[in-house]
C-alpha cells in the first residue's frame, strides 16, 4: 500500500514535467490489464479509445513544448492543469491502494503535491540543462526522455 502512495507522489512529479504523458502510460497499462482498474471509478482508462486519444494528446504536448510561443509551465493555466492532472493520476494509484476512501484522497493529495514539485523543479532543472547545453532544445528532449522513462518505470513497478 505504501508503494502505491509513493507512486502517486512520483506520478504527480512526472505530471509536473509533462501533464499528458502519465495519462497515456496509465491508459495503455490499464488496457493491457497490467494496471488493474476494473471495478473502480478509473475503469474507463482501460479503453483502447482512451489510450489512443491520450497518446495523441501526449505527443501533441511534447511537440507543442518545443514551439517558441508556448507559455511557461508556471503560468497559472498550465500550472493548474498539471496540478489537477497530477491529482487525478495520484487518485488512480490511491484508489488501487485503498479503495475510494481514504486511499483516493491520500493519492489525490500526493499526486497534486508531486505535480507542484515536478512543475517547479522541472522548470528549474530544464533551465539548468539549457544553460549547460547552451540552448533549450537538448534540455527539452532530455526532459521528454526522463518523463517517458519515469512514467513507464513507475507503472511497470506497480504492475509487478
Q: What is the pLDDT of residues 53-85, one digit of tens each?
A: 999 999 999 999 999 899 999 999 999 999 999
Asked whether the CA dihedral 47, 90, 74, 137 is positive or negative, the reply is: negative
Question: In the predicted model, what is the mean pLDDT of residues 122-137?
Answer: 97
Q: Of 3 and 160, which is predicted with more confidence? A: 3
Chain-centroid distance of CA 35 in Å reads 15
Q: Model pTM greater than 0.85? A: yes
Identify the DSSP state of 44: G
State the cell numbers at 46: 482501460
* pLDDT tens column, 11-21: 999 999 999 99
Query: What 3-state DSSP class applies to 100?
Result: coil
Amino acid at each position: 500500500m505504501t508503494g502505491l502512495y509513493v507512486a502517486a507522489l512520483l506520478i504527480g512529479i512526472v505530471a509536473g514535467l509533462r501533464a499528458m504523458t502519465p495519462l497515456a502510460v496509465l491508459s495503455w497499462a490499464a488496457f493491457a490489464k497490467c494496471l488493474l482498474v476494473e471495478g473502480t471509478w478509473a475503469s474507463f482508462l482501460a479503453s483502447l479509445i482512451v489510450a489512443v486519444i491520450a497518446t495523441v494528446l501526449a505527443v501533441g504536448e511534447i511537440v507543442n513544448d518545443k514551439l517558441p510561443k508556448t507559455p511557461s509551465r508556471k503560468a497559472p493555466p498550465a500550472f493548474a492543469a498539471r496540478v489537477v492532472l497530477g491529482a487525478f493520476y495520484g487518485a488512480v494509484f490511491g484508489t488501487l491502494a485503498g479503495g475510494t476512501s481514504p486511499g483516493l484522497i491520500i493519492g489525490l493529495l500526493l499526486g497534486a503535491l508531486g505535480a507542484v514539485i515536478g512543475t517547479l523543479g522541472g522548470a528549474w532543472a530544464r533551465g539548468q540543462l539549457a544553460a549547460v547545453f547552451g540552448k533549450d532544445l537538448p534540455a527539452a528532449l532530455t526532459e521528454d526522455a526522463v518523463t517517458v522513462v519515469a512514467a513507464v518505470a513507475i507503472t511497470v513497478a506497480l504492475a509487478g
